[in-house]
Amino acid sequence: MATRSKSTFGKSGASMLPWLGLALIIFMADQFTKVLIMGYYQLGDSTTVTSFFNIVRAHNTGAAFSFLAGAGGWQRWFFTGLGVVAALFIVYMLRSHAGQKLFSFAMACILGGAIGNVVDRLLHGYVVDFLDFHWRGMHFAAFNVADAGITIGAICLILDELLRVKRGK
């Protein structure tokens, strides 16, 4: 009988490799799209795609919704460190809960997005954003594939918790 490695199998015996694979796909999609944007767009360039969606090139030195963007530079290292700590914690959680599908899906989405944005901060000092949705002249904050992964992961994490609480009743 084959021995299971503690590095890929959690307490439940389920492998975390599929979840790390999902995180890698999100990371690669994020980085690929950012390379395209940086290759074809200058900062501030925009292309109208539909009446409610543009492709833009924006740089975010802060966090979500440009939180702390004008803080003077220290936030680059703070958010990079926070992303690294979050990634390590998520890998630990995946290892411990790989058999919980919705939870692990959520964690993998967040992991792929977090690493994508950490790489941006390390390489450029900012995160490259390019998806711009708008309605009636109001623009939602521009975001990227990593941000979408983090958002989907957060929604799934909330859903997982609501389902867990419902099962407990």
What six digits make up the tokens of 43? 């900062």
Q: Is the model's pLDDT at 13 over the cut of 80?
A: no
In a domain, 134, yes or no: yes
In a domain, 49, yes or no: yes
Q: Where are the alpha helices (DSSP H) in 54-100?
A: 74-97
Q: What is the Cα–Cα distance from 71 to 65, expressed in whole angstroms?
A: 14
In a domain, 132, yes or no: yes
Q: What is the Cα–Cα distance from 169 to 63, expressed in whole angstroms?
A: 37
Nearest of 39, 67, 35 to residue 144 by alpha carbon: 35
Total structural domains within the chain: 1
**Annotation marks residue 129 as catalytic:** yes
Per-residue model confidence as pLDDT tens digits over 41-95: 999 999 999 999 999 999 987 665 555 545 555 666 677 788 889 899 999 999 9
In a domain, 1, yes or no: no
In a domain, 11, yes or no: no
Confidence of residue 3 (pLDDT cuts 50, 70, 90): very low
Per-residue model confidence as pLDDT tens digits over 87-141: 999 999 999 888 899 999 999 999 999 999 999 988 998 899 999 999 988 888 8
**Annotation marks residue 30 as catalytic:** no
In a domain, 138, yes or no: yes
In a domain, 124, yes or no: yes
In a domain, 3, yes or no: no
- Pick the catalytic residue: 30, 120, 129, 160? 129
Give the Cα-Cα-Cα angle 104, 106, 86 (nearest 5 degrees): 90
Question: How large is the average pLDDT for residues 156-168?
Answer: 92
> Could you list the residue range(s) of the whole structural domain that residue 127 is in?
17-168
What six digits make up the tokens of 143? 């975001």
**pLDDT for res 22:** 97
- Residues 94, 111 contacting (CB under 8 angstroms): yes
Query: What's this model's pTM, rounded to 2 decimal places?
Result: 0.82
- Pick the catalytic residue: 30, 120, 132, 147? 147
